[in-house]
Amino acid sequence: MTLARITSYAEADEILTSRRFAQESKHESAPLVGGTVLVMDGPAHLRRRRLLAPLMSRTALAAYDDVVARTLDECIRAQGDDLVPLGRSVFLQLAASMIGLGDLGARTPRLLALLGPLLEAVTVEWSTRDHAVVLAEGLAARDALVTQFPALPGAAGTLATLMAGRPDEWDDEAAVREVVLFLAASTLNNAALLVHVVDELSRRPVPDDVLPAALAETLRLYPPTVALLRRALTDVTLRDGRLVRAGEHVAVDLHAANRDPAVFGADAEEFRPGRAVAERARPWGLTFGSGPHLCLGRAVVTGTAVTPGVHLRILARLRELGVRPDPDRPPVFAPTAQRRHDSYPVLLASSENRGA
Ligand code: HEM
């Protein structure tokens, strides 16, 4: 199999937006997320996206923000010494409300324990551990999730209710996989982003009014998913003349494309919030993908004209508490080719401030 690596922003964007390339990112993790919106293509994919759109309505986004506002201090009290479990537990509350698992409360540690192996298995393609072991652990966690965390029947506006109303689209197995995708999508990358932004700001502090731009700049420099795979469905000649043959696979390198000087300037490798970017680009580059598979949850992260995005709320609270890396406990990277941590210990100014 030939695998061309795509590093220019223009080529990356053209491939991701083209319907002449198919999704190829998730073969090994198919037992967990096969058949979900992430891996579908063509008209069936479009139909699935439309069905899922209500989960990102303006009302839904406001509700997720409320959940984070209500549960943040408790998560900080329980997990405030390490940004990885903290980020995961905050976004678990959001995911649980989106999926329809109800208020997690005291059930949070139990779900957190299942989340670790699930997240590793959903991204097994990138794991540096034995892939068969990672998948087996993930499938065991998934089985425990199904038995221990049933969706609340009839809870309005949730993924579970939406799927229950469309048995023609989701049978039981497909519904469990979609839940696993949403659980992973709303926790994994968000926890990674929280670590990267606190880490970056600890080295290059910015005033509060620059935080939205600092978040976007962190997203650009550290895309949690470093590459997306696609397969050409026909011979495709890209606008710059590059020919990709039918059947050829391409790895769209988001990390490289997001540092393309043609779009982000000669100092594209630098952390410079608020930088000017080429007209066609977003400040976070291709971190949320582009085209048909563009991240469904982007507005949760970056906000909209009416909601600021949950990260700003979390960051603002952590900054109030004086968050900084713990000099005595070094961060631990996860066993994966993605740039992600298993642990990022921090200190907060004082435990009384944690809202306990
Ligand atoms: C920092 C946070 C996030 C990042 C960096 C991120 C990144 C991405 C990327 C790169 C894709 C495209 C995958 C591809 O083209 O193959 C994607 C798709 C997706 N994301 Fe996100 N995501 C984030 C947060 C979220 C959240 C909070 C949700 C909420 C549930 C979410 C749900 C999804 C879904 C459902 C898809 C599949 C869409 C489709 O294939 O049509 N993501 N995400």
Question: What is the rounded distance in angstroms from the CA atom of residue 79 to the CA atom of residue 84?
Answer: 9
Place of tokens 């072991």: 133
Residue 76 phi/psi, 5-degree rounding, is -65, -40
pLDDT score of 355: 45
Task: Identify the residues whose C-beta falls under 6 Å from ligand 1.
Answer: 23, 25, 37-38, 49, 181-182, 185-186, 189-190, 193, 224-225, 228, 287-289, 293, 295-297, 300-301
Tell which atom from ligand 1 comes closest to the C-alpha of 224: 5
pLDDT for 350: 64
Q: What is the pLDDT of residues 305-324, one digit of tens each?
A: 778 889 999 999 999 999 99
Residue 352 clears pLDDT 90, i.e. is over it: no
Distance from residue 189's CA to the centre of ligand 1 (Å): 8
Q: Whose CA is nearest to atom 15 of ligand 1?
A: 293
Question: Would you state the pLDDT for residue 1?
Answer: 67
141-197: pLDDT as tens digits: 999 999 999 998 888 899 999 999 999 999 999 999 999 999 999 999 999 999 999
Instruction: Determine the average pLDDT of the residues in 125-129.
Output: 93
Does pLDDT of 353 surpass 60?
A: no
User: Atom 32 of ligand 1 has which residue's CA nearest to it?
Assistant: 297
pLDDT-based confidence at residue 304 (cuts at 50, 70, 90): confident
b/e code 276-294 from CB counts within 10 Å (16+ = b): ebeeebebbbbbbbbebbe
If you measure from the C-alpha of residue 120 to the centroid of ligand 1, how many angstroms do you get, rounded to a whole number? 16
Q: What is the mean pLDDT of residues 279-299?
A: 96
pLDDT of residue 339: 83
Task: Give just the sign of the alpha carbon dihedral 55, 56, 57, 62.
Answer: positive
Tens of pLDDT along 17-50?
A: 999 999 998 889 999 999 999 999 999 999 999 9
* Ligand 1 atom closest to residue 94's alpha carbon, by position in its atom list: 27
Distance 328 CA to ligand 1 centre (A): 34
Residue 3 CA to chain centroid, in angstroms?
25
Which residues are CB-neighbours of 278 under 8 A, at least 6 positions away? Answer: 262, 263, 264
The mean of the pLDDT values for the chain is: 94
Cβ distance 202 to 164 under 8 Å? no
Please state, for a pLDDT cut of 70, what percent of the chain lies above it: 98
Report the pLDDT value the prediction gives residue 308, as an integer from 0 to 100: 83
Domain ranges of the chain: 3-354
Paired tokens of 12 = 């990356």
pLDDT at residue 349, rounded to an integer: 85
288 pLDDT more than 80: yes
pLDDT one-digit tens code per residue, 229-239: 999 999 999 99
**How confident is the model at residue 244, as a pLDDT?**
97
Contacts of 110 (CB under 8 A, 6+ apart): 148
Which of 15, 18, 59, 7 is CA-nearest to residue 304? 59
On the CB side of 135, CA atoms within 13 Å amount to 14
**Hey, what are 235's tokens?**
């011979």
**CA nearest ligand 1 atom 37, residue:** 38
Q: Whose CA is nearest to atom 16 of ligand 1?
A: 228
| Distances in whole angstroms, Cα of residue 186 to Cα of each of 45, 80, 262, 273, 354 | 20, 20, 31, 24, 24
Quote the pLDDT of residue 107: 96
Report the pLDDT value the prediction gives residue 26, as an integer from 0 to 100: 87
Q: How far is the CA of 222 from the centre of ligand 1 (A)?
A: 15
The CATH fold assigned to 3-354 is: Cytochrome p450 (1.10.630)
Q: Ligand 1 centroid vs 181 CA: distance in angstroms? A: 9
Can you tell me the mean pLDDT for 232-251?
Answer: 97
How far apart are the CA of 63 and the centre of ligand 1, in A? 19
CA of 38 to the centre of ligand 1 (A): 8
* Candidate of 38, 178, 254, 295 to mutate for ligand 1, largest count of ligand atoms within 8 Å of Cβ: 295
